[in-house]
């Protein structure tokens, strides 16, 4: 039987206008809140729609940029409301549907200079959630094994974001290319 996959990406929870909020300007602050809240509402809505699909999907794959920050141009962690929204929506969805969710890390939501991912806290807080982070990718490359998740009738091979500067500085471009060639199916 063919597998049914719901694919989403680039939800950028915690997005705010690129110029940020100009202090003491009520209208700018309201626009920021409206935009940010719209991202949260659409995130919850897409999972509600996926839960209603008949027949149901076998897995939900979110491929990159769950959160909007941190990233190179915006280093702080995402707003706490973004993190709480992600956790609650995912907990409720998995508990209600028993459909597994896999989140693959993108270039946003990644603390570039630390060995930690925002997805690590979600992995702990949301039973049944699978995540593939840059750290998981580095470990798979070192071990020469695929970064793979198996579901009932589907295997998913993951390729989270990794900055080419990281590969260059560690002389791993050829090793990474070989790993990709070996493990893509």
Give CA–CA dist 21/152, Å, rounded. 46
Give residue-wise pLDDT tens across range 62-72.
998 898 876 66
The pLDDT score that the predictor gives to residue 51 is 98
Assign residue 32 the CATH number of its domain. 3.60.21.10
pTM as predicted: 0.85
Phi, psi of 87 (to 5 degrees): -60, -50
Number of domains in the chain: 1
Structure confidence at residue 32 (pLDDT): 60
What domain range is 135 assigned to? 5-183
| Mean pLDDT across 73-83 | 77
Order of all β-strands in the sheet with 5-8: 5-8, 59-63, 101-104, 129-132
Q: What mean pLDDT comes out for the span 126-136?
A: 93
Checking if the pLDDT of 108 tops 90, the result is no
Average pLDDT over residues 140-147: 91
Binned at pLDDT 50, 70 and 90, residue 163 comes out as confident
Pairing of strands 101-104, 59-63: parallel
Pick the more confident residue, 159 or 129. Answer: 129
The span from the CA of 36 to the CA of 13, in Å, is 7
Of 63, 56, 62, 64, give the one whose Cα is nearest residue 3.
56
Q: Which of 45, 87, 51, 48 is nearest to 66 (CA)?
A: 87
Q: Residue 52: count other Cβ atoms within 10 Å of its Cβ.
A: 9
* H or E element that contains 7: strand 5-8
């Amino acid at each position: 039987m063919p597998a049914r996959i719901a694919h989403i990406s680039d939800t950028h929870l915690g997005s705010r206008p690129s110029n940020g909020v100009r202090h003491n300007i009520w209208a700018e602050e309201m626009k920021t809140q409206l935009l940010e809240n719209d991202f949260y509402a659409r995130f919850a809505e897409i999972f509600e729609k996926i839960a209603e699909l008949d027949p149901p999907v076998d897995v939900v794959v979110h491929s990159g940029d769950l959160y909007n920050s941190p990233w190179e141009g915006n280093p702080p962690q995402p707003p706490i409301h973004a993190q709480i929204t992600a956790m609650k929506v995912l907990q409720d969805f998995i508990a209600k549907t028993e459909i597994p969710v896999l989140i693959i890390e993108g270039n946003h939501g990644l603390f570039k200079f630390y060995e930690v991912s925002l997805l690590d806290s979600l992995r702990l807080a949301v039973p049944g959630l699978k995540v593939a982070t840059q750290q998981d990718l580095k470990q798979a490359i070192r071990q020469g094994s695929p970064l793979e998740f198996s579901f009932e009738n589907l295997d998913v091979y993951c390729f989270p974001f990794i900055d080419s500067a990281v590969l260059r500085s560690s002389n791993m471009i050829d090793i990474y290319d070989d790993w990709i060639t070996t493990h893509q199916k």
